[in-house]
Amino acid sequence: MSGGDMAKPLLGHRHVESDTNLALLPSGGTIGILGSGDFARCLATRLVCSGFKVVVGSRNPKRNAGLFPAAAKVTCQAEAVKKTDIFFVAMFREHYSTLCDLTDALAGKILVDVSNKVEMSHQQESNAGYLASLFPASTVVKGFNVISAWTLQSGPRDGNKQVLICSDNQEARRIVAELARAMGFTPVDMGSLSSACEIENVPLRLLPAWKIPIFLALGLFFCFYTYNFVRQVLHPYIREKKNKFYKIPIEVVNTTLPCVAYVMLSLVYLPGVLAASFQLYYGTKYRRFPDWLDQWLQHRKQIGLLSFFCAALHAMYSLCLPMRRSHRYLLLNEAVKQVQHSSFIYVSFGIMSLGLLSLLAITSLPSISNSLNWREFSFIQVRLAINGEYSGLALSLHAQTSFIDPPQFPGW
Ligand SMILES: NC(=O)C1=CN([C@@H]2O[C@H](COP(=O)(O)OP(=O)(O)OC[C@H]3O[C@@H](n4cnc5c(N)ncnc54)[C@H](OP(=O)(O)O)[C@@H]3O)[C@@H](O)[C@H]2O)C=CC1
Ligand SMILES: [Fe+3]
């Protein structure tokens, strides 16, 4: 992003002047940032774009000034701490102690701890608790750690709008919540600073909320399997005394998998349609969805992934089935003829898959290449990268393998 772009407001109409609550900020609209890394840079951009004045405290202001939007003032740490009463500490826990020289200057000021942990822990003291112990005369607020630098820079989207905030000081909590709101995020009050540990663990949770989607998939599998078992095995046995029990482990499973995949895929898209209808009905997009819909929307990624898993498994099964019977050498002859016949279909499906793959790459890449702190945010990026399109890819894969599905060959 060029310097010019950085200075351009992303949320043009949300200026501090227009927000009465923010005019009451103790800092008079100036926000301080200690540190000049990825997070600091993106935070500064967002603050400037939201109409705040920004002062950055860096150990090396000359070298780092060029990385910040022109409107942000980059100076040394000692100078910066004099300028305002609210500071984001955009540094790693290991470096907090280097700020101890500034203890007196930071007394009575709000310090927002944005740091994350490297590994999940419940016993260890939270980073925010550690910061509070180093600066007992300052007020520490935990927040913004669940927002990646990339989200700060590109602007909040639906999925990652919530900013969890906690502090022992209610007024400080309110101020930081207002700040988050002015930046386009949705603050969530998590109470006292003892919740910091929990908040710091949030970004480390890999693919949460799997319980409901897994039970859903298993439930659907059970229903469809029972139905297919009755249709393909039990019914022929009772009606015609045909023994088709050999179908139980593979064929019945293989007809069940795509049923589950399709139903799950439709469950990924359906809540979006319901949400849109809900918004149309109420004529606003600022009304909360009912809880059940909210929950459903939040589980779409997991449902989509399970759908992908079932479809991929089905594609593999379908591919293996004809291989298992390849001793029928005549089949090969037939297959070659059929492939020759339908080569254009293969080409078109190939192109479709390529299209899907590039779609995947495109949707995944920005989140990966812009993962500004891979070490901590890899989990979140993985979550972002894996989304519904994988199901589409699997279904296209399945469509291709279905061309060599056994029933298409004469005499099967
Ligand atoms: N990047 C991200 O996506 C996210 C990061 N965070 C958190 O934000 C904090 C900063 O992360 P990030 O900006 O990515 O990290 P960076 O490594 O990019 O930046 C860290 C900054 O800390 C400052 N610093 C101060 N003292 C020291 C010191 N003794 N040694 C090294 N650096 C020092 C440096 O600024 P200077 O040289 O100017 O003093 C440096 O730029 C971390 O706590 C991280 O957990 C939270 C959510 C997301
Ligand atoms: Fe199929």
pLDDT at 404 over 90: no
- Out of 33, 100, 164, 373, mutate this one to test ligand 1's pocket (max ligand atoms within 8 Å of CB): namely 373
Q: How far apart are CA 322 and CA 49, in angstroms?
A: 60
Q: How far apart are CA 75 and CA 59, in angstroms?
A: 8
Pick the most confident of 185-189, 279-283, 315-319: 185-189
pLDDT band at 34; cut points 50, 70, 90: very high
State the distance from the centre of ligand 1 to the C-alpha of 369, rounded, in angstroms.
Answer: 18
Position 52: which residue type?
F
pLDDT (average), residues 271-284: 88
pLDDT at 199 over 50: yes
pLDDT (average), residues 352-372: 54
Pick the most confident of 8-22, 71-85, 337-351: 71-85
Name the more confident of 368 and 389: 389
**What is the predicted pLDDT for the residue at 176?**
95
Mean pLDDT rounded to a whole number for the chain:
79
pLDDT (average), residues 160-175: 91
State the distance from the centre of ligand 1 to the C-alpha of 40, rounded, in angstroms.
Answer: 7
Using N-to-C axis directions, what is the helix angle for 251-282 and 389-402, rounded to 10°?
A: 140
| Pair 318, 402: CB distance under 8 Å | yes
Name the more confident of 284 and 406: 284
The percentage of the chain sitting over the pLDDT mark of 90, rounded to a whole number, equals 45
**What is the predicted pLDDT for the residue at 128?**
96
Domain 3-204, CATH homologous superfamily name and number: NAD(P)-binding Rossmann-like Domain (3.40.50.720)
State the distance from the centre of ligand 1 to the C-alpha of 38, rounded, in angstroms.
Answer: 7
In the chain, the N- to C-terminal Cα span, in Å, equals 60
pLDDT band at 351; cut points 50, 70, 90: confident
| Pair 113, 199: CB distance under 8 Å | no
In this structure, the residue with its CA closest to atom 22 of ligand 1 is 91
Q: How far apart are CA 145 and CA 201, in angstroms?
A: 10
CATH 3.40.50.720 in the chain is located at 3-204
pLDDT at 387 over 70: no
pLDDT at 253 over 60: yes
| Pair 233, 246: CB distance under 8 Å | no
pLDDT (average), residues 221-249: 91
- Out of 92, 101, 130, 381, mutate this one to test ligand 1's pocket (max ligand atoms within 8 Å of CB): namely 92
pLDDT at 252 over 70: yes
pLDDT band at 118; cut points 50, 70, 90: confident
Q: Which of 61-65, 95-99, 263-267, 346-350 has the lowest mean pLDDT?
A: 346-350
State the distance from the centre of ligand 1 to the C-alpha of 373, rounded, in angstroms.
Answer: 9
| Burial of 342: CB neighbours in 10 Å, binned 0-12, 13-18, 19+ | middle
pLDDT (average), residues 196-206: 85
